[in-house]
Amino acid sequence: MILVCAMQGDTEASAEKLAQRVAKLRMFRDEAGKTNLSIKDISGSALVVSQFTLSADTSRGNRPGFSQAAAPDIGRALYEHFASSLRAESIPVETGAFGAEMKVSLTNDGPFTIWVET
């Protein structure tokens, strides 16, 4: 599962760069148990879900602020461009519904969760 948040200033080029990085990131275990394999190496697939709440600014007060998130129309375009760019890396991709309140279950099965920025 890949949670994607478009921030102000993000571009199609940054979405493409992020997709390329994700496709090559060695985060899956090999036969020796070391994280040496990419999603491409394991013939994996991705569920890409928009998650603007990752932009939350909690540095002040008690209410998160989301003013650094991209505007919805830009966020949708960048989210879709990221998913398309990941498909261009030969990775099967399913997507969530942009802007929808979805119930998504995630079971972390591994040693880490990774935050990737461009």
CATH code of the domain covering residue 15: 3.50.80.10
- In which element (H, E) is residue 49 found? strand 46-50
Residue 35 token pair:
């994280």
| 106 is a domain residue | no
- Split into its structural domains, the chain has a count of 1
Answer whether residue 21 shows pLDDT above 90.
yes
* pLDDT band (50, 70, 90) for residue 71: very high
Catalytic option among 8, 11, 53, 113: 53
Is 72 within 8 Å of 32 (Cβ atoms)? no
Reduced DSSP (H G I as helix, E B as strand, rest coil) percent helix, strand, coil of the chain, to 5:
30, 15, 55
Of 32-41, 61-70, 99-108, the least confident: 99-108
Instruction: Write the single-letter amino acid at 35.
Output: T
The pTM of this model reads: 0.89
Catalytic option among 8, 11, 20, 52: 52
* pLDDT band (50, 70, 90) for residue 34: very high
Catalytic option among 8, 11, 20, 51: 51
The terminus-to-terminus CA distance of the chain in angstroms comes to 18
| 39 is a domain residue | yes
- Has 52 been annotated as catalytic? yes
**Cβ-proximal residues to 58 (8 Å cutoff; 6+ apart), any chain:** 64, 65
Residue 60: DSSP 8-state:
S
| 101 is a domain residue | no
- Average model confidence (pLDDT) across the chain: 91
- Has 51 been annotated as catalytic? yes
Note down the domain range covering 36: 2-95
* pLDDT band (50, 70, 90) for residue 98: confident
Residues 26 and 111: their CA atoms lie apart, in Å, by: 13
- Has 107 been annotated as catalytic? no
